[in-house]
Amino acid sequence: MAALGLAQNTAPAGTGAIHGTLFDSSGEPIGKNEVLAEDAVSHKVFKATTSPAGQYMLKDLPPGTYYVAASAPGLKPFVMKGVIVKASLALKLDIRLGDTTQLNTLGEDRLRITADDQRHHPPSGPTPRTYGGKPDLSGVWWNPDTVDPGKPEFLSGAIAIQKQRLDANSKDSPQARCLPSAALRNGPLWEFVQSKDFLIYISDDESPGFHQIYLDGRGHPSDPNPAWYGHSVGSWDGDTLVVDRVAFDPRVWLDVESHPHSDHLHIIERYHRPNLGHLEIEITVDDPGVLARQWTQKRVADLAHEEIFEYICQENNRDVVHMVGK
């Protein structure tokens, strides 16, 4: 939810600005968090970091129409299209992020607030290790903070598909229809279970919500069957696990921003656990069908004081008939 101010303050001549405050679902300001604005025509991205009081200022914006986006751990991402920026004016736009799936049940505000507090206080201690001496990545993790989003350069065809999906309120999102979520999505809670030959990924809010990463030295099949989570093999580079993913089902979306992928999608994930409470993640996306060049982003996840519970998406699912878009 966002509050779009009608009154606009002045901005430097020739350019405009967007400013406001970023709030969580309970109305508390979110400090040290990124807010983005993307020019709908040039696709140039402008970024601002919120102050400790949650305030942000996207400045030096050429006049035009923008997408404005923000996200934070454990909360639903926010995207607003059609935000009009005028020369020499500063538009006030307050943003309030909504709850995610598992922590917004009626009557469970106390649980959500407690979990939110714990998310920012992961346990301390050394990196746990397996009997073979490798880092043990096992644990339940919060959805990661993006510390470096990189600079994706999507091709015009991919941008057109993204716009079409957003214009339809993402009604055709696979996850909205109880199918797996986007290939680059983590969380709001997810778990790694590690053994010598396998690493199992489990998500708390999607169906089927798990896939396996082979650690036994095998490679990809010569002709793999496309899968919603792709085919994943892992190998160790020192204390960093490198996961290679290929052969994705054409129906899966690439990311939560609604971008598509092609049958050339190749994802490399690097996982490094520097201590007990944190997991560093580097993701490189190579897909010449939708990207002009490789795109690398970096994330950090905190260890969660939570458990993964069963999630049956189709149980009492009453949403599908109402997903009509626009």
Distance in angstroms (rounded) separating the CA atoms of residues 43 and 318? 36
At 158 the pLDDT is: 96
Boundaries of every domain in the chain: 2-96, 139-322
299-315 per-position pLDDT tens digit: 999 999 888 888 887 77
Q: By the 8 A CB rule, do 228 and 154 touch? A: no
Q: What is the pLDDT of residue 111?
A: 42
Residues of the chain with pLDDT below 50 are 4-7, 101-115
Helix (H, G, I), strand (E, B) or coil at 322: helix
pLDDT of residue 99: 66
| Nearest Cα to Cα of residue 135 among 217, 236, 232, 268 | 236
pTM of the model: 0.65
Starting at the edge strand that comes first in sequence, how are the strands of the sheet with 89-96 ordered? 2-10, 89-96, 16-23, 55-61
Phi and psi dihedrals of 162, rounded to 5? -60, -45
CATH of domain 2-96: 2.60.40.1120
Q: Which of 237, 214, 209 is nearest to 224 (CA)?
A: 214
Q: Residue 106's pLDDT is what?
A: 37
Looking at residue 8, its pLDDT comes to: 52
Closest CA to 304 of 128, 119, 144, 145: 119
Q: Which pLDDT does position 313 carry in this prediction?
A: 78
Instruction: Give the class (CATH, top level) of 139-322.
Output: mainly beta
What DSSP character marks residue 50? -
